Structure 1
C-alpha cells in the first residue's frame, strides 16, 4: 500500500484524557508504524512548552470542558503551511473553527479531505438546558461533514442515525482496545481494600466524564437497586467533570478516585466487578470495551460499542436504549447473580481480545485510499467514497 502524507487537524490530543484524544493517538501511532508520514495540527495545550513535533495554533477554553481548547480560525496559516509541504490527505477530526479552517484551506489548494464524527454535540444541548440549539447544531455538523469526501463513524448505528439526518459519505472505522493494558490480571486486592471492599464485596464502577450528558442519576438509581440486594456493595467513580463536586458531597459513602491514566486506570477497571454505563449520548463508548477487556460484567444500553460487541447473557447485560427501568433491572440481576457476572466477564474478555487496533488502522487505510481515488476521479461513480459499503 502506498505510503501517504496525512495531516490530522484536531482540538484534542494526548496527553489530554478523553475518547477522541485516545483514539487519535492510537491511530497516529499505528499509521506511523506502517510508514505513513503523519502530522498533527492542534491548539496549544496547558502542558506544552516551547517544543513540540506538532503544529500548534491558538485556542480558547471550551465551556464546561476547561481541560480542553477549541482552535481559532487559521485558514491562511494552514494554506501557507500546506503550500510549503503539501499533504496527500487532510483529516478534520473535530468540527470547531480550526476544523472548518482546515477544510477551507484544503479546498482552496485542491487537497483531498475527510472528517471524523466522534461526539454527538447536538444531543448534548438538552442536557445543558439549551434544547433549542439541537436543530441548528445538527445543521452545522451536517454541513461540516458533507463538505468532505467521507466522514468516518465508529459503528453501524451511528452511520444509520446520521444517514437519516442527511449526512452523506459515511464510512465505518471502528475502535480498538489495548488488551495488554486492560487486563483482568491487574486486579488489586489492596486497591479494593482502599475502597472499603473485601474479597467478596460487590464493587460496581463508573468510568468516564462526570457531566450531565452521561446520565449519571441512573448510575445512582441502578446502584441503589444493587445495594438493596447486596447491602455491602460499593460504588466507585473514576473520572472527573462538572458533576463530580455535587455527587461527592451528596454521596460521601461512595468512592471518588478522580482521573486515572495508563496502568492505574487499568487497575481500577480490573479491581471492580460490574461496570455500569447508562450514557445515551455516545457515538461509540471506548470505556465499554476497556471494561470488557478488563474482565468486568458490563451493564449498558443496546447501542454504540455495546451493540457492536455485547450479546445479552453471553458476554454482558444490555437493556433497550434509554429504558431506565430495564437498565435498573439488569443491574439488579448483576447483583443477584455474581457467579453469572464473573462468567460474562470472562466471555467479555475473550471478545475484547479480537478487537485489535491493527485492524482499525487497516480500515482507516482503506477509506483513505478510496478517498484519494475519488478525489482524483470525481466524476467516476465507482470511486466515490460516499457509495462504498460500510
Structure 2
C-alpha cells in the first residue's frame, strides 16, 4: 500500500462525498464524557454523517442503563468497559476481538478508524487486520509523556514501543500539529498525517462576554481575569499557573484567577490558592461564556497532543500565554494574538506574565486580533479533509 504524506495542515478541498463510505469508528471515550478526545471526535463524526457517510460508533458502555443509539446513517455498538485508574469518570474498553470480527463479517465496513489505543482499540486493530479491512488511527493523547507525572517514568519506553507498534500497523495515523508529527517520525512512527482540530466559531465567540459572570467572580471592568481551562491534574503543570497568578498580582492591582475543570488536584489547589474561583466542569455553552468573559488564558501544559483550549480561547477573542508547543506553536503568533515562551522555561513564562500584568493594554490589543487566526478551523473543513484521507486509504487498499 502506498504511504500517504502531506506537510499541509489544511489540504485542498475534496469533492462532495461520493461514493458514501461505511465507517466503523472505535473510541473509548464519547459524550457526555467531557474531554478533548470525546468532544472533538463527536464533532468530526457529526461532520462525516453530514457528508452522507454511514458511521458505526463502537465504544464502551458508560453506565448500566446506557443504550445504543440507532439513527439513519449512525448507529452504536456498545462494548464492555471498566473505569480508568485515576480517571474514574472515563471508561477503558475491554478486549472484544471476537465480537468485532462477528459484527464486521455480518456487515463489512469500508474502513475502520481507531481513535484510542486501549484494549478495545487493540482488539479493533486485530479484528480489522484479520478481516483485511483498511485501518486508520488518531494519536490524541501523550500517554508516554504522562508517565513522568504519575511516578512511572520507567514505563515511558514500553509505552512508546506499544504506541509505535499500534500505529504502524495502521495505514495512516492522524496527528493535530506539525511538531507532533516531527516528534513521532523521529521515534519511528510511519505514515503520519497532520489534520488540525476544528473549533466551533459560532459557539466560541467574543459576543458571549458577560459582565454578570465577571461580577460573580468579584471582577470589575478594571480587573484582570486569568482563565485556566482543563483537567486539574499533575500533567497539566498547574504549579506554573499559580506562580504566574502570584507574579501578576504584584504588578496589577486587581487580578482574578478562574479554574474551569476538575481532577485530583482540585482540593490541593484550593488550599494553596483559596482566593481563586473553582468553577468545576462546565458544558460547552457555559464554557464559551467563561472564555469570552475572561481577559487572558494561561496554558502552562507541555504534555498536550493539541490543546483545544488554545483554539477555543482564540476563537473567543481571548489571547493565550503558553509554551511554544502543540496547538499554541501553530496558532499563537507571539505578541500578536498571544505570547509564546520556550517549552519548560518557567522563568520565561513568569516573566512574560509579569510584563503583561504591568501593561494590560497589550492584552486588550492581542484579544482584538485573536479570533482571525483560527477562523479557518471550521469543522466542515476538517471533516472534508478527513473524508479525503479515508477515500484515499480505501482506494489504496483495494488496488
In the superposition, the TM-score normalised over structure 1's length comes to: 0.95
Give the aligned partner of residue 380 of structure 1: none
Distance 2:387 2:341 in 1: 34
Q: CA offset at residue 322 of structure 1?
A: 1.4
Q: CA offset at residue 42 of structure 1?
A: 0.2
Give the aligned partner of residue 182 of structure 2: 160
Distance 1:258 1:241 in 2: 9
Alignment of 1:101 with 2:123, yes or no, is yes
Distance 1:258 1:290 in 2: 18
Pairs within 5 Å for 1:113-262:
113-262=135-284
Answer whether contact 1:159 1:171 (CA < 8 A) is retained: yes
Answer whether contact 2:196 2:377 (CA < 8 A) is retained: no
SS at match of 1:229: coil
Identify which range, 90-99 or 326-335, moves more after superposition: 326-335
Q: CA offset at residue 333 of structure 1?
A: 2.1
Distance 1:139 1:118 in 2: 16
Distance 1:117 1:50 in 2: 28
Distance 1:362 1:60, change over 3 A: same
Give the aligned partner of residue 306 of structure 1: 328
Answer whether contact 1:274 1:334 (CA < 8 A) is retained: no
Alignment of 1:268 with 2:290, yes or no, is yes
Q: CA offset at residue 51 of structure 1?
A: 4.6
Distance 2:215 2:266 in 1: 22
The alignment yields a C-alpha RMSD, in angstroms, of: 1.1
Identify which range, 315-324 or 201-210, moves more after superposition: 315-324
In the superposition, the TM-score normalised over structure 2's length comes to: 0.93
Give the aligned partner of residue 31 of structure 1: 48
Distance 1:22 1:98 in 2: 19
Distance 1:2 1:346 in 2: 43
Distance 1:97 1:356, change over 3 A: same
Pairs within 5 Å for 1:332-371:
332-371=354-393
Answer whether contact 1:201 1:232 (CA < 8 A) is retained: yes
Answer whether contact 2:175 2:196 (CA < 8 A) is retained: yes
What does the per-residue CA deviation read over 1:206-258, in whole Å, with 9 as the maximum and x for residues that have no partner? 00011000000000111111111013201000000111111112221110000
SS at match of 2:289: helix
Q: CA offset at residue 350 of structure 1?
A: 1.4
Identify which range, 24-33 or 49-58, moves more after superposition: 49-58
Give the aligned partner of residue 35 of structure 2: 18
Distance 1:48 1:217 in 2: 39
SS at match of 2:250: helix
Give the aligned partner of residue 100 of structure 2: 78
Listed as ranges, the gaps of 5+ residues in structure 2 are: 1-17, 71-75
| Match among 91, 113, 129 for residue 113 of structure 2 | 91
Answer whether contact 2:27 2:59 (CA < 8 A) is retained: yes
Answer whether contact 2:25 2:58 (CA < 8 A) is retained: yes
Q: CA offset at residue 354 of structure 1?
A: 2.1
Distance 1:225 1:343 in 2: 21
